[in-house]
Structure 1
Amino acid sequence: MSQFQSLRNHFLIAMPHLEDTHFSGTVTYICEHNKEGALGIVINKTLAQLPVSELFAQLELPNPNSGLSESEEIVPAIFEGGPVHHERGFIIHTGGSEKWESSMQVSDELALTTSVDILDAIANLQGPKQFLIALGCAGWEGGQLERELQENAWLTCPATLPVLFEAEPEQKLQAAAGLLGVDINLISSQAGHA
């Protein structure tokens, strides 16, 4: 049996033949991965039906984008983080986890926070330097992600801050694949078997 290898702080890049509506064409940032399972946040599907102003209004927080042009927006979009826990917010951000009520350190540079105190800080322009806000997450039971990898449903590579925070949502899939030297558009959508 092969030794377990954690994909924490990695990107999962959906292969073109992955037809699951939740994950087709996605890049997922893996925040936790151990023998019990995995947790990730889809980072390239925006929730067009939920404007940033509405989310912050629902939480009775100031709109951090108020008065800013589209190019200056502090929170450009809210992401559809995955099919699990749609009602919960997940914030991937730079910096440490010690400042926030419910937070976990993912890497030396990144943390995942689920408490509203970080949104309050963002609304009041005191939040982390770089962040991504998502509703919902993706989860895998123990061994499930490993099986999907064996079935060639995903490519994986170490995560980078530019892809996570700087690439436009519609460019993240190709940008993440580019980290592997792959043009995702040239990969066949047909699964092959030798």
Structure 2
Amino acid sequence: MRMINLSPGILLIADPFLKDPNFARTVILLCEHQPKGSLGFVINKLFDQQLHHLVPEVMISNIPVYFGGPVQMDTIHFVHQQPELIDGGVEIIPGVYWGGHFEQVVAALNKGLLEPGQIKFFIGYAGWTDGQLEGEIQEKSWIISHSDTTLVFEQQEQLIWQQSLRNLGSNFAMMANFPIDPSLN
């Protein structure tokens, strides 16, 4: 297997047998990886409320919010593809930006300037302390992959985990069909 360095823009694909209910069958977009720790967002687990429920200033309904992770569930984060509309974002892979000025996001949404496929919102985030993520990778909790912009902004979140594995080639593609609980087979 090829070695991929941990860095912003890497995808962390949950091992098929990862039991943690927060991360079972998830894909995480890593946005920050530093000696003090790492931060990312689960890109394929819908939250039970939409953005206009959480941010009353948003006048558009039907904008999904994803469960970014179990840390600071009182915060909203986003990744987007529109740096010309949203200042202050950090480019984590070519064409994908993390964060920026939230007031500009709300204004752009309300004016119809942002399409759902150009921005993704998260409540909370996934975080690791120094060395914790590396330890989980050594324990085989995560499969590491390069990011794919199409996957990051995929609207059918139920497809992301399986497609992430298939993108890694035939050795991983069959893992995409593993049952959640093999003892039930």
The structure 1 residue matched to 2:77, chosen from 62, 71, 90, is: 90
1:51 partner letter: Q
- Residues 145-191 of structure 1: per-residue CA shift (max 9 Å, x gap): 1110000001010011111113511110001111102232238978x
1:125 aligns with 2:112: yes
Distance across 1 between alignment mates of 2:106 and 2:168: 33
CA distance in 1, matches of 2:37, 2:85: 24
RMSD value, Cα? 2.5
Amino acid of the residue matched to residue 78 of structure 1?
A: V
Aligned to 1:157: 145
Q: Distance in 2 between matches of 1:14 and 1:175?
A: 12
Q: Which deviates the most, 152-161 or 112-121?
A: 112-121
**Contact 2:58 2:109 survives alignment (8 Å):** no
The separation in 1 between residues aligned to 2:165 and 2:126, in whole angstroms, is: 20
Alignment of 1:1-194 (within 5 A): 5-48=5-48, 50-57=49-56, 60-63=57-60, 65=61, 75=63, 77-96=64-83, 99-101=86-88, 103-113=89-99, 115-117=101-103, 118-127=105-114, 130-181=118-169, 182-183=172-173, 184-186=176-178
One-letter amino acid matched to 1:109: G
Q: Distance in 2 between matches of 1:131 and 1:25?
A: 22
**Percent identity over paired residues:** 27
TM-score by length of 1: 0.78
Provide the aligned length of Structure 1 versus Structure 2. 173
Deviation, structure 1 residue 120: 2.9
In structure 1, list runs of 5 or more residues that go unmatched: 66-72
SS at match of 1:47: strand
Following the alignment from structure 1 to structure 2, what is the Cα–Cα distance between the partners of residues 130 and 106? Answer: 15
* Aligned counterparts of 1:97 and 1:35: Cα–Cα separation in 2: 31
